[in-house]
Chains A and B, each alone.
Chain A
Amino acid sequence: MTWLEPILLTIVTASTPLLLAALGELICERAGVLNLGVEGMMIIGAVCGFAVAHTTGSMSLGVIAAVVCSMIMSLLFGFLTLHLLCNQVATGLALTILGLGLSGLIGESFIGEPGHKLPQLELPFLSELPYVGRLLFAQDALVYISILGVILVSFVLFRTRLGLIIRATGDNHRSAHALGYSVRKVRYGAVLFGGACSGLAGAYLSLAYTPQWTEGMTAGRGWIALALVVFASWRPLRLLLGAYLFGAVSVLQFHAQAYGIALPSQLMSSLPYIVTIFVLVIISGNKQLTKINTPACLGKPFRPDR
């Protein structure tokens, strides 16, 4: 058991940013908006979180700054796609490019600066349980938030009226509009939630995963988060499963090397994408399933004819 625990711990840290970012994108896509700018929002969150935490010395302020800055990015995306009806794919890609560039500029003076790690919140008694104690109950706040977030999103999406409205908007925005719901308001809300989640994911990277700032430190995690949403066929609980699976795959290569098993790292890092393609092929074979879960209006701009 002693050799397993560190592996499992690294899986948790590798999976949490994926889970957080994908959770936001899931709500966004359920409302019918495809935001390909996750990577860009995430890295802005990472750099702003680190900068504020480093300057003020307050970790909480850092996390809040990450969330707010990513939300501003998502607001820009929302304004372009929901108000000006720009193409969502092109705008999302532009957002990623903007985020990567802007983060380099903001973070220039922070390269190489030592950072602090988010404190681990040890739950009394529970964290002393044998085997699982340290793994489950001695993590930092963002890990708990990511797990609670999955439960909360799942509950809201399938048990509440708000969730019903979000799903309805993504399924058929014309009908939602005809029934008197403001498609634009619902989508703004979803896009902002997506931004906030990406910000948390970014903050996790620069304040917990590797507590420092390096340029391009998101390293494609935003894209994996996007793939994850499809992998989970837009269901939050499957997202949890998928995030930990993808997280495990991405850290396994390091542990494999440590144990002298030679696996080409390129193969391992491409694995999440290969798995996603497989899942896509499998779910597209089942038309009924696809039809129920895929938001039918995903990526389509909506112009109310008023």
Chain B
Amino acid sequence: MPDELQTSGEDDHADYLIEARNISKQFGSTLANNCVNIAIKPGEIHALLGENGAGKSTLVKILYGALKASSGTLFWKGKPAEVSSPSAARKLGIGMVFQHFSLFDSLSVTENIALALPKGFKKKQLAEQIARVSHSYGLPLDPHALVADLPVGVRQRIEIVRCLLQNPDLIIMDEPTSVLTPQEAEQLFVTLKRLTDEGCSILYISHRLEEVQLICHNATIMRHGKVVHSCDPSKETAASLAQMMVGGEVHSITSHRQTATSKTLLEIDALSLEGSGPFSVSLKNISLQVQGGEVVAIAGIAGNGQGELFDVLSGETRLKDSYAIKYLGVPCGRRRVNARRRLGAAFVPEERLGHGAVPDMSLTENVLLTRHRSGDALVSAGMVNKSLCHALEARIIDEYDVRMAHPGSEAGALSGGNLQKFIVGRELDRRPRVMVINQPTWGVDAGAAALIRQSIIDLARSGAAVVVISQDLDEIYEVADRISVISRGQLSKAEPVATISREKIGLLMAGMAENQQDNEGPYAA
């Protein structure tokens, strides 16, 4: 089907909606974009693929006028165009849905949308228009709601509706499905289909290759600031796309699933916890047992209690009932983080900067943070043994392929993927018996993600119990032996990977476990 769209006039530049020729962008000494060419036809969904740091965001920001290209030309509907600012882009007909939403928490939906529209609207009319347009595209919104009160899925709708109200010819979407349930993503695809039918083009940036294959008509693949391939994604496999992105064979993950036989290393028993504020989730009667040798993944959409559960497991939030959490059989509910670490537990929180590592400290100092009391003799008689810290840092950097601009870098200077490899490596290096990881590969490029996932599996196979909290279903299916879903602070029973389908996980995520238990639908894997 994609081939039938706009097949005429391939060579005529006037037929492209937007065309970027020889775009380069220099940041200091690095060339973020190096003579990039991209052309998008009217009515197509065009995928932009690449690892983190490949230059996708830079290119997109240039198209949207948020960055100025060092050299190169843009053509809009066949004519050279100057996109000097986001408002100029909007005037031309380019809209953008950001990955990190550009919304204002303390303003209402209507006010948020009004800010992106040209002057001269009536608040009341605009509210009505928002309600109407959002319903007609299947993205219902309450125009008077305050953004702070809305879940992420709805926030994204605001971004999309904000774009739609400008009647754009091109919508740029940066990782739109990363915050959606599979069902919400399906709904989004329907909306996108309808938009393209109306002649609107979409530049679609995503890490999820299956999704790109499903909905995109064309794909441009970037690596190290250059365009390396252009192809029709439906004619490729996910593996071949990944290969183009990384520029080599992506290390495929080997799991050798086995049934865990050893004893229970982590036990959560009827854990309940009242939410501590208006924005936190209460945990309700959570029970889970994790055996040595297995990986249990906890799926769920952000903000359903993952953070609270992690804090309770790590000991940042301590419980009244000591028996609700047991590490290696020892009741730990009331113990502090370090006491749990000494028992052989290790934790990797979601936020890398500020929680997993201190941004302004060197990696050597960051090594010390979680390991000063875990029997590595890094500290003796209150004095830090620096050379030992250095040796440890070097070992982690070497073993987990952590790359940095210059030795002795601060944690904050590392790229997301490299810092995550370091943090995971720091914990794995201790050979923990139980490991809890929250969002192990969030915002990490494919190469680093594969390495991290493989090391998680290897750890489990060596006899440790691993809990992975993740929003990424592909990741969960790759690493997990059993899957459980967290929704509104409740945890579903962990089921073996082979018997739980994506549709069922989606329903559990949406909190519809009760009615849908037996109905796995026609898509059951």
Contact = CB atoms under 8 A, between A and B. Distances in A.
Given A179-B86, A180-B65, A164 B106 contact: no
B67 interface: yes
Contacts of B87: 179-180
Given A161-B114, A288-B278, A171 B90 contact: no
A210 interface: no
A178 B279 contact: no
Contact of B102 (A161, A175, A292, A306): A175
B102 A174 contact: yes
B106 A292 contact: yes
A175 B103 contact: yes
A168 interface: yes
Nearest to A165: B115
B106 A287 contact: no
B115 to A, nearest CB: 6
A291 interface: yes
Contacts of B107: 164, 167-168, 171
Contacts of A175: 101-104
Contacts of A167: 104, 106-107
Contacts, number: 66
Contact of B146 (A161, A165, A180, A292): A292
A293 interface: yes
A174 B111 CA distance: 17
Q: How large is the interface on B (under 10, 10 to 19, 20 to 34, 35 or more residues)?
A: 20 to 34
Contacts of B88: 180
B84 to A, nearest CB: 10
A269 interface: no
Contact of B115 (A164, A288, A292, A296): A164
B65 A172 contact: no
B104 A171 contact: yes
A179 B65 contact: no
Contacts of B101: 175
Nearest to A170: B106
Contact of A292 (B98, B103, B148): B148
A179 B115 contact: yes
Contacts of B111: 164, 168
A287 B148 CA distance: 11
B358 interface: no
B106 A291 contact: yes
A306 B98 contact: no
B124 interface: no
Nearest to B114: A164
Contacts of A181: 115
A197 to B, nearest CB: 23
Nearest to B67: A306
A172 B67 CA distance: 19
Interface string A127-163: 0000000000000000000000000000000000100
B104 A168 contact: yes
B277 A287 contact: yes
A164 B113 CA distance: 11
A296 B104 CA distance: 9
B68 interface: yes
B146 to A, nearest CB: 7
B148 A172 contact: no
A293 B115 contact: no
A178 B104 CA distance: 12
Interface string B76-109: 0000000001111010000000100111111100
A172 B104 contact: yes
A292 B145 CA distance: 12
B278 A180 contact: no
Contact of B98 (A165, A178, A288, A294): A178
B451 interface: no
Interface string A61-89: 00000000000000000000000000000
A172 B119 contact: no
A168, A175, A292, A296, most chain B CB atoms within 10 A: A175
Interface string A163-198: 011011001101111111100000000000000000
Interface of A: 161, 164-165, 167-168, 171-172, 174-181, 287-288, 291-296, 305-306
9 contacts: A161-B114, A178-B86, A180-B87, A180-B88, A180-B90, A287-B278, A291-B105, A292-B106, A306-B68
7 closest Cβ pairs, A-B complex: A180-B86, A175-B102, A180-B87, A178-B102, A171-B104, A292-B106, A171-B106
